[in-house]
Amino acid sequence: MATRVTESQPVLTVAPKARRKFSRRRFNQGLTGYLFALPWLIGFAVFTLWPMLYSLYTSFTRYNIIGEPRWLGLRNYENIIFNDSMFLKALENTFWMVIVKTPIVIVAALTIAILLNLNLPGERGFRTIVYLPNVLSGVAAIFLWQWILAPNGLFNAGLELIGVRGPAWFTDPAWTKPGLVVMSSWWIGAQVLIYLASLKGIPKSLYEAAEIDGATGWAKTRYITLPMLSPTTFFLVVTSIIGTFQIFETAFIIAGAAGRDIALGGPGQSLLFYVFYLYNRAFGKVGAGGLQMGYASALAWILFLIIMAVTLVQLLLAKRWVYYETDGR
């Protein structure tokens, strides 16, 4: 129960002349700040903002990136939403991945971070080991995992030891995405470290106070640890969702680009993810139009709107469950 300071701050009354000088200094300070930020602002404008706006323009055109864009109005968007079954399949696959992978990653990272925070011997070594996969090259690791998750590979051999017959991970349409989830759980090192840092930032006094009142281990976790970690959880959930929406590398390596004899998207189109589909549209491996950069731009902007909507919903919901120490609630 913190008391709020409600008295108003003393207001500085100054003569008009002095106020003008005051604001010029403010203006100069502001200007200096912007000048220092200018290199980044220029880079942002040229390499991020301008391409984004140009792609918004091309999403309304037919554009093969080599010639000039040809205005089409809303035709790309119409075709995507009403005539494109692969778009729906891509959305389905991507949403599945987001909904399944995010909680698994968060819970796994949190569990490992809590274990690492127990101050047992060897903590430093385990911390390094947990982070090590993030340092490895993504593509090489994906090839490695394809072998580990082969029907007669290491993973299934391990499952057989406990009497479970492992599925055909990357050839059975029902198991390809779970296979990807298994593979990505190898890369939670970054999330673990972020959680670990936050865990170490929780004041010990809270735990001591709880112990005095007779709190059990689980009560301490539920009423102290988790709420104090909620800003970190929120951050990780948002970034994990945004990242998972953009999944590409793993799909590209495992399912491959479409070819003459290869249908796009792996077994049962189960690995047809949104950005992967976008890429194949852009470079003409799918569909009738050769290079379809305009169509791909429209796809990109639809994805942007979807991610924006999802993030806004999370921000609104955050007020209910995210506890910030400085809020004074």
Residues in the site for other proteins, rule: CB under 8 A? 64-67, 147, 150-152, 168, 170-173, 252, 256-258, 260-264, 267-269, 283-291
Contact by Cβ (8 Å): 131, 109: no
> Least distance in Å: CB of 299 to other proteins?
17
Q: Which helix H or strand E contains 141, and what residues bound it?
A: helix 138-148
Nearer to other proteins, 127 or 285 (CB): 285
Nearer to other proteins, 119 or 152 (CB): 152
**Amino acid identity of 173?**
P
Return the axis-axis angle of helices 293-321 and 274-282, rounded to nearest 10°.
160
> Least distance in Å: CB of 152 to other proteins?
5
Nearer to other proteins, 189 or 265 (CB): 265
How far from chain centre, in Å, is Cα 158? 30
> Least distance in Å: CB of 54 to other proteins?
12
> Least distance in Å: CB of 288 to other proteins?
4
Contact by Cβ (8 Å): 225, 199: yes
* Number of other residues whose CB lies within 10 A of the CB of residue 269: 19
Contact by Cβ (8 Å): 177, 97: yes
Alpha carbons 47 and 141: distance in angstroms, whole number: 30
SS3 at position 116: helix
> Least distance in Å: CB of 201 to other proteins?
44
Nearer to other proteins, 151 or 243 (CB): 151
Nearer to other proteins, 283 or 323 (CB): 283
What DSSP string describes 264-306?
Answer: TTSGGGTT--HHHHHHHHHTTSSSSSSS-HHHHHHHHHHHHHH
Nearer to other proteins, 81 or 197 (CB): 81
> Least distance in Å: CB of 43 to other proteins?
18
Contact by Cβ (8 Å): 266, 170: yes
User: Which residue has tokens 């102290």?
Assistant: 224
Nearer to other proteins, 133 or 173 (CB): 173
> Least distance in Å: CB of 219 to other proteins?
48
